[in-house]
Amino acid sequence: MQGNLGAGFGWVLSRRTLIVLAVLLVFALLLGVIPRMLAWPFQAASSSKSADYFCIHGNELSADGFQAYDVAAEWHGKPAGRKILVLLPHVSRIVEIGAVRSFEQTCLSELIKRGVPSADVWPIRADALNVWGEAHALSEWLKAHPESTVRIACSPFSSGQLRYVFRKILGPIDSERVGLAILLDPKCRVESWWQSRAGVKGVMYGWLELIYAWAKGNEAFPEMPDAATFQHEIRTQIGEAPL
């Protein structure tokens, strides 16, 4: 007896094959094989090469990677004399109006709190609005420091896009000098990403970022109006309520 799945397309699967495929599919889902395969771009291990600099990136609200400041401070102390780079993003409106400290100020204070002297923290003024901007800034810095090697702290879910973008911008030779330090959140593991909300969001955004980087390539971010201009524009659009 023959099953008919696919008969409309000119091929036929036997009932036994269909049952075996269905059982395999159920097992694959139950054992998490398929979800784990979905997270393959984010499962790479950290770079094993030694580096002279540890690099932190992010925005005014958080650094990329789990407990990036703790890891950077620990890395700085073993052996002594290592330096920490901070890739500085574009100054956002909430920084401009003083609602939060800038990324540079936050990094400095958090690292000093953990025993890193401020002289060992080197900011790179990237003024970046996205990963492409950060990669360009780091590329310039690497040209000025031809002997240096860098490890960039990141979360597993942003590692796929970072690896792709940095390779694209730095080229095959310079990208060898840049490795990733993937900082795992013990509560949100890549191997079981579907079991937590943060994991599901991480995989979804990780894939979308990667797809966009593959499809669109180097992207220039539009100009952002400053706080005063933005507020004026918004007030003009909204206007006054009728009495």
Partner 1 sequence: MKRSRYRRWPIIAFGCILVFVLAFNPWSLPWVARWLDVGSPPQKADAVVLLNGGLNTRPFVAAALVHGGWAPKILLNTVAAHPSEISGAIPPFFEINSKAFEYGGVSRDRVVCLDSAVNTTFDEAKAVADYLTDHPAKRLMIVTEGPHTRRSRWIFQRVLTGRPVEIVLISAPAEGFENENWWRSEAGFLFVVSEYFKLFYYGLHYSWLGYEIVVSVAVMIFLCTWFLRRRKLYCPRLRLSQSIPARSASEATT
> For binding to partner 1 (CB under 8 A), which residues are involved?
2-8, 10, 12, 60-63, 66-67, 69, 92-94, 97-101, 106, 109-110, 129-130, 197, 204-205, 208-209, 212-213, 216, 219, 221-222, 224, 227, 230-231, 234-235, 238-242
CB 213 within 8 A of CB 164: yes
CB 150 within 8 A of CB 138: yes
CB 235, min distance to partner 1, A: 5
Q: How far apart are CA 211 and CA 213, in angstroms?
A: 5
Instruction: Specify the residue, 75 or 145, whose C-beta has the smaller distance to partner 1.
Output: 75
Count of residues making up the chain: 243
Q: Who's near 207: CB < 8 A, 6+ residues apart?
A: 38, 41, 160
CB 222, min distance to partner 1, A: 6
Instruction: Specify the residue, 103 or 142, whose C-beta has the smaller distance to partner 1.
Output: 103
Instruction: Specify the residue, 78 or 216, whose C-beta has the smaller distance to partner 1.
Output: 216
CB 215, min distance to partner 1, A: 9
Q: How far apart are CA 182 and CA 64, in angstroms?
A: 10
CB 94, min distance to partner 1, A: 5
- Which DSSP state fits 242? P
DSSP-H helix ranges across 61-178:
68-77, 93-96, 103-113, 131-144, 156-174
Instruction: Specify the residue, 10 or 81, whose C-beta has the smaller distance to partner 1.
Output: 10
CB 108, min distance to partner 1, A: 11
